[in-house]
Amino acid sequence: MDLKLRSRRALVTAASRGLGRACAEALAREGAQVVIVSRGLEALATTADEIGAVGRKALDLSHPSAPAAAVEAAVETLGGLDILVANAGGPPPGTFASTPAEAWDVGFQLTLQSTVRLLRAALPHLRDSPQPRVVIVTSSSVREPIPNLVLSNAFRSAVTATAKTLSQEVASLGITINCLAPGRFATDRVHELDDANAKREGKTRAEVEATAVAAIPAGRYGDPAEYGAVCAFLCSKQAAYLTGQTIVLDGGALRATV
């Protein structure tokens, strides 16, 4: 299927690794011009070269000015913007009791405010696009909270509510906004969480992974490329009537019917 993404102008944040990279790579493979943003300059440069990104910029999206700077850099490089894939590194794990007050402020800036600021900066440019698309990377925790991830559970749910509200406000402009909520994918972030859970439970990472896989009907962690492929579809011409949705990609792990 031709997704009609050739020459579309895309910004993907937190794109040097994991699901952000998978989205950027899928878009570039479909012919989009992609600018990627991440904190680590070395990893960012390597990813840009490997996936064929046309631009890159090292920024920490938790800083208040960084999201607007990311959009400005993309527009300057691409001459406009058609696609925003809003991603941010997940906040640290922890229970409510073990999470200090200051960590809530960090999670608020990194997970919720970075997305809000990206949307504010990108919307004026997306209004001028013939095929404006926004995909926000969230988590299956917005449907079913994940133990030991209180910050992610809280702030990704807030991101989802914001995206739903905004999608209704801009739908008449042809702008689609959807959240793509992953379950367990084979990424560095998930491996780090498995390590944290292993330490907390007095187990090995292999034992934690085995327990997680046993709860996934597909019987495995997801391949990031599978996530990227769905992201590319959400950015396509064919997805013009799909907006305001949270699409859970988790190998069937969630039991809920809605």
175, part of any domain? yes
Give the mean model confidence (pLDDT) for residues 59-78: 97
Find the CATH number of the domain harbouring 55. Answer: 3.40.50.720
How many folded domains does the chain comprise?
2
Domain enclosing residue 87, as ranges: 9-185+223-249
Range of weakest confidence among 145-149, 156-160, 219-223: 145-149
List, for residues 200-226, the tens digit of each pLDDT value.
Answer: 889 899 999 999 999 999 999 999 999
170, part of any domain? yes
Give the mean model confidence (pLDDT) for residues 115-125: 98
Residue 243 has pLDDT above 90, yes or no: yes
DSSP-assigned beta bridge partners for residue 84: 11, 134
3, part of any domain? no
Read off the pLDDT band of 192 (50, 70, 90).
confident
Task: Tell whether 119 and 198 lie within a shared domain.
Answer: no
Do 19 and 227 touch, CB atoms closer than 8 A? yes
Residue 140 has pLDDT above 90, yes or no: yes
Instruction: HSE, CB side, 13 Å, CA atoms: give it for residue 68.
Output: 7
Where helices occur in 52-173 by DSSP H, the ranges are: 66-78, 101-107, 114-126, 150-170
**Percentage of the chain modeled with pLDDT above 90:** 88
DSSP-assigned beta bridge partners for residue 177: 134
